[in-house]
Structure 1
Amino acid sequence: MSTPEPMRPATSPPSPSRKLRILYIQPGTTLFAGIERVVDSICTELVVQYGSEFDIDVLYTSQHENFPAETRKYNRILRLAPTPLARFHTYRELIKANRYDLVVVPQVEPLVFCWLSCLGLKTRFALHLHGNPAHERTHFKARIMFLIAETVVLRRIPYIFGTSPKQLSAFVKRYKTRSRTVWLPNPVRAFAVRGRGDNDNARPITFVNVGRFAYQKGQDILLDAFARLRAQRPDVRLKLVGHGRDEPALRAQIERLGLHDAVDVEYHPTDPHAAFEASDIYVSTSRWEGWSLVICEALRFGLPVVAIDCDFGPSDILTDRRLGELVPLGDEAALVEAMRYYHDNLGYERGFSGYRKDYVDQFSLENVVHRHAEALRAAAKSE
């Protein structure tokens, strides 16, 4: 049974006789956010650092409302395919015409769909896990696709990439796949982080959470815990930064708990920079994750992190007490106590700010792109 490969120094790329042709499939979503941004960043850096070795195509089958205006360095292929049948034909026609050395598909359902569209073609695929597959079999179609994956497709996929070592281990154990697994950390963006000013020291201590307003992200858990903390420390503030269908329910919860004057709901669609700089402590209350890029971004700003120890991600990142504290899922008292500790000991904890920033550098785009290049090289040439 395969196990995730650990982080290790990059190796020098070989001198290929020809460039390897790689196709990344983007999800057919409307918002340029998590997976979309990761794929865009990685593919851009692959062209910058490995352009002599790889030709990188990225297929978009939908328009993204907040897609960057700048021309992309990779070859962006935009073919609008709003229906499953249209996507099926788009995948098959594009892959057949270009004879890619490797097609990288995020998540299990899209992989199965893309694989089926290429039946009869000699196509090499890699699955790239971004989330938690255990929580993705939520409807009949998903269960059918996972059954096909388990009985047919995963037996024919030589490589599986994943964002978390524990995510990959759990996936291999659950699906008994013999595919080789490679841990490919998501890249953490660089921010121009300024120092603290007098106004920062004068404002109330502020907690922050960034993410989609959805059941997975657990903002409802955070609001209940914050209400209990505020009863003990009336000066605290909370920023909920994001968007999503659960926003009305969260706003109603804020009113019900009497937190309207202590909680700000904000939306920064492309850059949470302002919210991080105006906050002191990051809190992650996700019920499950694949990794948790936003925890890494909080560490980039030197913020201590309180995180629910969910599957997967937070425990892969918060490996040192100087980074933050993990609390059990479902233990609200432990969550409140951890938040209270950081509130009361913030001055001491700020002493580890530099350590947090240095720690997260290992996940910078410039560093993780080497692992991605190694994985593409191996997967594209695998038998």
Structure 2
Amino acid sequence: MRDVIGAKDYDLVVVPQIEPTVICMIACIGIRRNFAMHLHGNPRLEPSHLKAKILFFLMRIYFIKRLTYVFGTSPRQLESFKAMFRSNVRQYWLPNPVRRFDALQKPEGEEGCVTFVNVGRFSFQKGQDILLTAFAEAYKLRPNIRLKVVGYGDGEAELRNQIGDLGLAAVVSVEHHPDNPSPALAASDVYVSTSRWEGWSLAICEALRFGLPVISTDCEFGPSDILVDRRLGLLVPVSGGEELVRAMLYYCDHLEEERAHAEFRQNFIDIYDTERVVDVHADALRIAAMGPAPLIA
């Protein structure tokens, strides 16, 4: 890192997340550069092991004052970071760009069935275990529902075991679309996010791009920054439980009237279109690069 960053007179070094930023800034002690940190997740929940705790401590007591800018994926995330680190560093909200997808015709599914879909890394953070538990309860009341769980990750074996233990193998499919979730989104009726925490949620935005209504857990920030209108979707507690089940049942019973809002969802998410957001990112980089370069010493 030191060799690369010191090789040229860079105006700005942008590093994602707190831990890599501290490591990078330690490596560059004595080199005059502007550093911007780009937050993605929830800093309050991320220092879960000793190494992370040490790096967070170093950020709080020393490196925070030497940052030029803090970029974040949601306004409330930046406010949470500011309070957690008692930071006076300038902040800039950089909304995630939402890509466009080729138009896909909805494939024919099982007649009379309502298909839910979840897209994300198979991990504790993304809460697929919460989703499967609620889906199992909803399935007892609405046997016409189906679920697609799309993603990858170390938690796949545990996910498949839970599907088997709940007796859902015939109605829940695990799918892998590593570069493009559009086949699964186009084949579904309702998107469900059960994350325990998020920085934003690009997956929710991409589901809205397809006109799907969204059910999401109301984690500290991210989904609630996006689902600002009832026509976009419903927020439920992070624990899921009965309220998540009720939300799934609601969309089962009101799917046709909810489909009337599909165009509203698609138009709404255009504010995060790549072509619009790229200018926001470019402006942030230009502003941060003009900041006074601190000497890390």
TM class, shorter-length:
over 0.9
Q: Deviations over 1:117-138 (max 9, x none)?
A: 1111111100000111112211
Which residue does 2:127 correspond to in 1?
218
Which residue does 2:208 correspond to in 1?
299
Q: Secondary structure at the match of 1:202?
A: coil
Cα pair 1:193 1:301 within 8 Å, conserved: no
Q: Deviations over 1:310-363 (max 9, x none)?
A: 022000000000000001122410000001001110000000000000100111
Q: Does 1:267 align with 2:176?
A: yes
Cα pair 1:217 1:285 within 8 Å, conserved: yes
Counterpart Cα distance in 2 of 1:250 and 1:331:
17
Which residue does 2:39 correspond to in 1?
129
CA RMSD of aligned residues (A): 1.1
Counterpart Cα distance in 1 of 2:151 and 2:237:
24
Counterpart Cα distance in 1 of 2:167 and 2:194:
20
Counterpart Cα distance in 1 of 2:240 and 2:140:
18
Asked which structure has the greater RCO (Cα within 8 Å, sep 6+), the reply is 2
Counterpart Cα distance in 1 of 2:106 and 2:2:
53
Q: Secondary structure at the match of 1:215?
A: coil
Q: What is the count of residue pairs matched by the alignment?
A: 292
Q: Secondary structure at the match of 1:306?
A: strand
Counterpart Cα distance in 2 of 1:232 and 1:203:
15
Q: Does 1:368 align with 2:277?
A: yes
How far the C-alpha of 1:204 sits from its partner, in A, is 1.6
Counterpart Cα distance in 1 of 2:177 and 2:240:
30
Query: Could you tell me which of 96, 115, 125 is aligned with 2:6?
Result: 96
Query: Could you tell me which of 81, 89, 96 is aligned with 1:179?
Result: 89
Query: Could you tell me which of 76, 79, 85 is aligned with 1:166?
Result: 76
Counterpart Cα distance in 2 of 1:177 and 1:126:
14
Which residue does 2:265 correspond to in 1?
356
How far the C-alpha of 1:278 sits from its partner, in A, is 0.7
Which residue does 2:187 correspond to in 1?
278
Counterpart Cα distance in 1 of 2:240 and 2:175:
27
Q: Secondary structure at the match of 1:224?
A: helix
Which residue does 1:321 correspond to in 2?
230
Q: Which moved more, 1:226-235 or 1:326-335?
A: 326-335
Cα pair 1:160 1:180 within 8 Å, conserved: yes
Q: Deviations over 1:204-227 (max 9, x none)?
A: 210000001100000000000000
How far the C-alpha of 1:377 sits from its partner, in A, is 0.8
| Structure 1: 5+ residue stretches without partners | 1-90
Q: For 1:135-150, list aligned pairs within 5 A.
A: 135-150=45-60
Give the letter for the 2:227 counterpart. L
Q: Does 1:208 align with 2:117?
A: yes
Q: For 1:227-266, list aligned pairs within 5 A.
A: 227-266=136-175
Which residue does 1:338 correspond to in 2?
247
Counterpart Cα distance in 2 of 1:362 and 1:355:
12
Which residue does 1:60 correspond to in 2?
none
Counterpart Cα distance in 1 of 2:110 and 2:229:
26
Q: Deviations over 1:103-149 (max 9, x none)?
A: 00000000000001111111110000011111221111111101110
After TM superposition, what 4+ stretches of structure 1 lie above 6 angstroms from structure 2?
none
How far the C-alpha of 1:192 sits from its partner, in A, is 1.5
Q: Deviations over 1:245-295 (max 9, x none)?
A: 111111111111110100000111111010001100000000000100000
* Identity over aligned pairs, percent: 54
Give the letter for the 2:34 counterpart. R
Counterpart Cα distance in 1 of 2:103 and 2:41:
29
Give the letter for the 1:93 counterpart. D
